Structure 1
Amino acid sequence: MAEPGALSEIDAGPAGLAVRLRGVTKVYDNGVAALGPLDLDVRKGEFISLLGPSGCGKSTALRLIAGLNAPSSGEVGVAHRSREAQAAHSIGFVFQEPTLMPWTSVRENVRLPLRIAHASPAEADARVAEALAQVGLADFADAYPRELSGGMKMRASLARALVTDPDILLMDEPFAALDEITRFRLNNDLLALWRNLRKTVIFVTHSVFESVYLSQRIVVMTARPGRIAAEIRIDAPEPRTEDFRTSPAYAGYCREVSNALAPSYAGQAVS
């Protein structure tokens, strides 16, 4: 077992895993047992959602995978293309809030990870332009965050996560605060990006409907301390369109996921 808090490398071959959690737990200093024990495998290029009640450890799991926190016990394994990639931001993180710097432009917000990585100006310019184009913000590179809508701010946050060309994209309820129409549009755009780039995506959400629409697999978690209650594969044709949202198959999957989730909310107020 790796030393707690250290990310170990796992097989990054063509059929390998992107993430592997084994016996992972997290107990905070105040004694709250937030997570685990948790065992989870995520394949390269897979899109999965973590779904569960508030406080069940979904965000904690993302932070452990990203190396932002250390597990109390167990092993977190992450695959990388190379040791150089491991050192150069091979994980992108999109938080629930865009966390953009208000005093500078969209372009400079997206450039920040490359500044930290000491990328050359020419390389940074090219990568920033590509990331902004990928999320549909090429025409807003010189805008300031205060000039953007909520959806556009989240696109800028996504571009910032993509600018280092990460292997793994971790997304912590990124669309939760958006109106329904904007959320649907960003769901569609995120799926299009995933199909084009084939990143491994681990997506945290409270929404059954969003998880079914986006995911290849949904990991339903129990109430705190979070463990896996069920894993449900969504075998829907690709590409997914608005027709899928109104199909009997979609309704059936939503019903199945809701039923699997219900015990996790027993005795709780639904948030």
Structure 2
Amino acid sequence: MVERKTSPAVEASLTALAVSLRGVTKAYDNGVMALGPFDLTVRKGEFISLLGPSGCGKSTALRIIAGLSAPSSGTVRVARHEGEVQPGQPGHGIGFVFQEPTLMPWTSVRENVRLPLRLAGVPKADARARADAALASVGLADFAGAYPRELSGGMKMRVSLARALVTDPDILLMDEPFAALDEITRFRLNNDLLVLWRRLGKTVIFVTHSVFESVYLSQRVVVMTARPGRIQADIRIETVEPRGEEFRTSAAYSDYCRRVSAALAPSYSGQSTL
């Protein structure tokens, strides 16, 4: 049996469901069926990746979970510490990191991170302190007064992550946040994200096109079919925690990458084993 050393915060949170999608579909007005039927269960504290070809509905699934898009059919349930609410209602505890940082160029890093709190009516002093704490958590404490134009691409994504974390969400949705970054920066941010996840115990659903990134980050890799997106395979990544560079160069990592790649191959060939 493989030894697992997940943090107490993560272990405690894995006793309850965070997200449940049952029979979810999404059809657009132009007749395109983007998703489904799609069934997904995520437990609190899990880190999962959605992996699949472009247009398979990965981002659509995230937007449905976040309440930014309504499913055409099916049921979506999102839980929080205080109980269970429907997506889109205030306070359902979701942070969203988009593909682009989408920072306001005319204001400081601190004010960009403070924005969700300002919109929620949090007093300025409290919001400032929370924004500074979020920036410190992503290694940008010294850049609170800087402007987005003064930051590298990787630093901008850190700001975007801090903004998603500043409301202390239960669930963190990440839509290919590192796709446009160079490989060295991407590896570094992957490592930093795992450190944050272990420390904070958040539920993370991470969208990526990278087999290597999905295997390195995730407890589970959910491989999706070509459109309309369904689940092709749900592969659990069992390895010693915490992960580091030794895992990235291990035989186990290579084996998992081959397994995930094999599950993904039918989606790119226009075939499905479903």
Corresponding residue of 1:18: 18
**Residues in 2 aligned to 1:41 and 1:89: alpha-carbon distance in whole angstroms:** 17
Corresponding residue of 1:101: 104
- RMSD over aligned CA atoms reads 1.7
The answer to whether the aligner puts 1:238 opposite 2:241 as a matched pair is yes
- Give the letter for the 2:258 counterpart: R
The answer to whether the aligner puts 1:201 opposite 2:174 as a matched pair is no
The two structures have a TM-score, normalised by structure 2, of: 0.91
- Give the letter for the 1:257 counterpart: V
**Residues in 1 aligned to 2:101 and 2:154: alpha-carbon distance in whole angstroms:** 10
Unaligned runs of 5+ in 2: 1-12
**Residues in 1 aligned to 2:120 and 2:208: alpha-carbon distance in whole angstroms:** 30
**Residues in 2 aligned to 1:117 and 1:84: alpha-carbon distance in whole angstroms:** 21
- Give the letter for the 1:16 counterpart: A
**Cα distance, 1:235–1:139 mapped onto 2, change above 3 Å:** same
Stretches of 4+ aligned residues off by more than 6 angstroms: 83-86
Corresponding residue of 2:8: none
Q: CA deviation at 1:14?
A: 6.5
Q: Please list, as runs of the form range in 1=range in 2, the aligned pairs for 1:177-216 lying within 5 A after superposition.
A: 177-216=180-219
The answer to whether the aligner puts 1:227 opposite 2:251 as a matched pair is no
Residues 69-91 of structure 1 show CA distances to partners (whole Å, capped at 9, x for unaligned) of: 00000011000122699623510
Aligned residue pairs: how many? 257
Q: CA deviation at 1:172?
A: 0.1
Structure 1 contact 22–40 (Cα < 8 Å) conserved: yes
Corresponding residue of 1:156: 159
Corresponding residue of 1:265: 268
Q: CA deviation at 1:236?
A: 1.1
**Residues in 2 aligned to 1:126 and 1:250: alpha-carbon distance in whole angstroms:** 40
Residues 7-55 of structure 1 show CA distances to partners (whole Å, capped at 9, x for unaligned) of: xxxxxx8711000000000001111100000111000000000000000
- Give the letter for the 1:19 counterpart: V
The answer to whether the aligner puts 1:76 opposite 2:73 as a matched pair is no
The answer to whether the aligner puts 1:140 opposite 2:143 as a matched pair is yes
SS of the aligned residue for 2:194 comes to helix
**Residues in 2 aligned to 1:159 and 1:149: alpha-carbon distance in whole angstroms:** 15
Corresponding residue of 1:52: 52
The answer to whether the aligner puts 1:176 opposite 2:179 as a matched pair is yes
Moved more, 87-96 or 126-135: 87-96
Percent identical residues: 80
The two structures have a TM-score, normalised by structure 1, of: 0.92
Unaligned runs of 5+ in 1: 1-12
